[in-house]
Amino acid sequence: MAGAKEESGASAEKVSALLDAAYKCDAYKIGALLDQHKDAGLTVNSCDYDKRYALHLAASEGALECAKLLVNRGADINVTDRWGGSPLDDAIRSNHKNVIAFLKENGGKIGDEKKVSANLFTAIEKGDLDSVKTLIESGANVKAVDYDMRTPLHVAVAAGSDEIIQALHKAGADINAVDNFGLTPLSEAARHGKRTGENKINNLLIGLGAVNTYGGEKREHATSKIFVIFVGIMQLLFLIFFSVGTEYDSVISEVVGNSTSPDRIKTTYGMFQDVHVMIFIGFGFLMTFLRKYGYSSVGLNFLVASFAIQWHMIWGGFCHMIFEDHFHKIGLSLTSILLADFASAAVLITMGALLGKVTPTQLLLIAFLEIIFFAVNENILLKIGIMDVGGSIIVHVFGAYFGLAASKVITKPKWKDDPQNSAVYHSDMFAMIGTTFLFVFWPSFVSAPAGPHDQERAVIATLLALVGSCVTAFVASKIFRGGEFCMVDVQNATLAGGVAIGTSANLAVLSPAESLAIGIAAGILSVIGYTKIQPFLERTIGLHDTCGVNNLHGMPGILAAICSVFVCAFSKSDHFASTEAWQAVYGPRFDDDGAEIRSAGEQAGFQMLCLIVSFSIAVITGAISGFIVKFIDPLKETDGYLDSAHWEVPEQEIPFFYDRRGEIDRDMLKARIAGLREKEVDI
């Protein structure tokens, strides 16, 4: 204890002796020194150069008798040292419960709240329940925050201590406190909890009153009941419809001695699976480019496709019977499920225009209505006599403009410039998975409905168009994007050739060079759509298109129809080796007896008529459908393009002090830290 200073006339030597006695817990010597040197000015309130008093040392060493003696002799129970620490702080730091209790009973208070809070955080990190309770009982602030605005409860959840959580909550900790990253204790539990199985911390917090939040905002999903009711009822109805209205096609219902079904498996099932991959992987991952909407892009794509496939197998079959005026049970075959996949593709194209702007309930309602109108449009075009092997008019044009019309009705102004409507590096990479799968399997999509006379030609023509649009999209992107490639163009315009060739891919008059040229034109058109046309439509008529379906599906679909007009106009019978092949490929030009009822020019005119009909029905019914679902379980304006509006998400992906590209915004972070220091809320 050398270096003690003289206090109230007492010499440094005498003060040092008093403090040394307190340090050694020698109550007898303390009393003797005070009595012996009373006249020399030695008192219980004498201190050393660090303003450490005898009561500090007695509390630090857990010397209860010494503390009682000093207090009874008049020691200042709340005296502070040069660091602002009181005797109670020393007792708390050393976890001397008996001394703590004595000091508190006699009015002892915490001198340095920041240090006590730091001790509380440390005790929680170590899982020291006893120390935590002691600190709480001593008056530690359970609502204290660290430099990241994380409370003791956040740390307790991260440490996984349910007993400490309960102790903090009992002491008044804020169960829904939000840190700098927008995380509540419940969010922290989700981040650290097991992916499957029991999550007792999560359940405990909910039991204590924690609510689901994201970025500090309470999330309420009361309207999710509408989703459960609607989808539950529809799935039950699907089951009933399949029970009473469907059967296996006659070709596959006679199992014994049947050879046709295995042949169909060999010729059709492989291409069906290719199309299936496009629907569930290609379209799903293509839409994952939004930085905080990946769960919804893939997950809701999965849900909507499964819903639409069932509904089209029922309604599509029934609608066909209406147009044929012949009613019977719907026969299901590989052709049925292939056509259902095509119908679901139209719905998923529509989903692209609405991505991030509708709730799951609205999306499934749109799918339900669109399948109804899609089947009607499909049968009208078949009655007119359309030639559209790859569905560019029936699927792509209809799906794109149905979705754009619905988007025009549903889209709220705020969503057009919402900062969440953007990508980050990894989300664009995931979207490229979808692009790659679509590119690889697109020839099957176009050629699957074709027959033995034209299927191989359709495969080759589609591939040529795809590679043409791919290469050209890179060139056009470089030109129109100021010398840099743009992932939007690479993800989408590279596929435009597959849409543009779809209507005429199987027609014999189309040469390989012309197929390649169509792909090249489609790639250029699509890039121009993204760089020039889409901004123009947003600016002039307020048409918002999240995925740019007009550029990948709409305009290339129109180009496909126009190309088919010319291809049909120049078709001749001598392009085929046999009359049978000619009639099989150009079916709408012949009646059931094989007699030609249309000229090449007339078929060209009907192709243009089919485009106009499909476009018109899509726009009108899309707008009507959008208006119908607009008021049913609508999305909050603040929830656009966010998975957290409908999904359980592990944590906020990017802290608030990051910019939208995911890089740290240093200026904002520094300003935030400076503000915290001014308020003295960091420890």
Q: Where are the domains of the chain?
A: 1-111, 112-222, 272-630
> 549 and 358 in contact (C-beta within 8 Å)?
no
Q: Provide the pLDDT for residue 230.
A: 93
- For the segment 517-521, the average pLDDT, to the nearest whole number, is 97
pLDDT tens readout for residues 407-422: 999 999 888 888 888 8
Question: Does the structure show a pLDDT above 90 at 251?
Answer: no
Section 273-277 average pLDDT: 94
Rounded Cα gap, residues 92 and 648, in angstroms: 41
Q: Comparing 646 with 195, which gets the higher pLDDT?
A: 646
What is the chain's percent helix, strand, coil content, to nearest 5? 65, 0, 35
pLDDT at 252: 54
For 457-501, how does the pLDDT look when each residue is reduced to its tens digit (9 = 90+)? 999 999 999 999 999 999 999 999 988 999 999 999 999 999 999
Residue pair 642/107 in contact (Cβ under 8 Å)? The answer is no
Which amino acid is it at 409? Answer: V
What is 112-222's CATH number, 3.40.50.300, 1.10.3720.10, 3.50.50.60, 1.25.40.20? 1.25.40.20
Judge whether residue 264 has pLDDT over 80: no
pLDDT of residue 243 exceeding 90: yes
Q: Which residues contact 637 (CB under 8 A, 6 or more apart)?
A: 412, 414, 415
> Confidence class of residue 150 from pLDDT cuts 50, 70 and 90?
confident
8 A C-beta contact, residue 556 and residue 396: yes
Q: How far from 526 is each of 154, 180, 182, 606, 643, CA to CA, in Å? A: 49, 42, 39, 26, 29
Say how far apart CA 427 and CA 643 lie, in whole Å. 13
Between residues 4 and 607, which one has the greater pLDDT? 607
Q: What sign does the dihedral 295-296-298-299 (CA atoms) show?
A: positive
Give first-to-last CA distance, the chain, whole Å: 31
- Strand-pairing partners, residue 664, are 658
Higher-confidence position of 346 and 41 = 346
pLDDT (tens digit, 9 = 90+) per residue, 91-120? Answer: 877 778 888 888 878 877 776 667 777 778
pLDDT tens digits, 565-578: 999 988 766 556 56
Average per-residue pLDDT in the chain?
84
Three-state SS annotation for 344-369: HHHHHHHHHHHCCCCCHHHHHHHHHH
Q: What is the pLDDT of residue 667?
A: 56
Q: With a cut of 80, say whether residue 3 has pLDDT above it.
A: no
Across the range 130-154, mean pLDDT stands at 80
pLDDT band of residue 670 (cuts 50, 70, 90) is low
Q: What is the DSSP letter of 218?
A: E
pLDDT of residue 600: 86
Q: pLDDT of 572-613, one tens digit each?
A: 665 565 677 767 777 788 887 778 888 889 999 999 999 999
What pLDDT sits at residue 198?
55
CATH class of 1-111: mainly alpha
- What is the rounded CA–CA span in Å between residue 52 and residue 70? 14
pTM: 0.74
Examine the pLDDT at 194 and tell me if it is beyond 60: no
Report whether pLDDT(260) > 70: no
What pLDDT sits at residue 655?
43
Q: Residue 47: pLDDT band by 50, 70, 90 thresholds?
A: confident
| pLDDT band for position 674 (cuts 50, 70, 90) | low
> Average pLDDT, stretch 295-304?
95
Report the SS3 class of residue 217: strand
Using pLDDT thresholds of 50, 70 and 90, give the confidence band for residue 254.
low
Alpha helices in 195-333 (DSSP H): 200-207, 224-245, 250-253, 260-264, 270-277, 283-286, 294-324
- Short-list 504, 498, 533, 488, CA closest to 519: 498
pLDDT value at position 656? 40
Could you check whether 112-222 and 272-630 share the same CATH topology?
Answer: no
Fold of 272-630: Ammonium transporter fold (1.10.3430)
User: Which range in 156-170, 181-195, 500-514 is most confidently predicted, on average pLDDT?
Assistant: 500-514
**Which conformational region is residue 2 in: left (phi greater than 0), alpha (psi within -120 to 50 degrees), or beta?**
beta
Task: Answer whether residue 324 shows pLDDT above 60.
Answer: yes
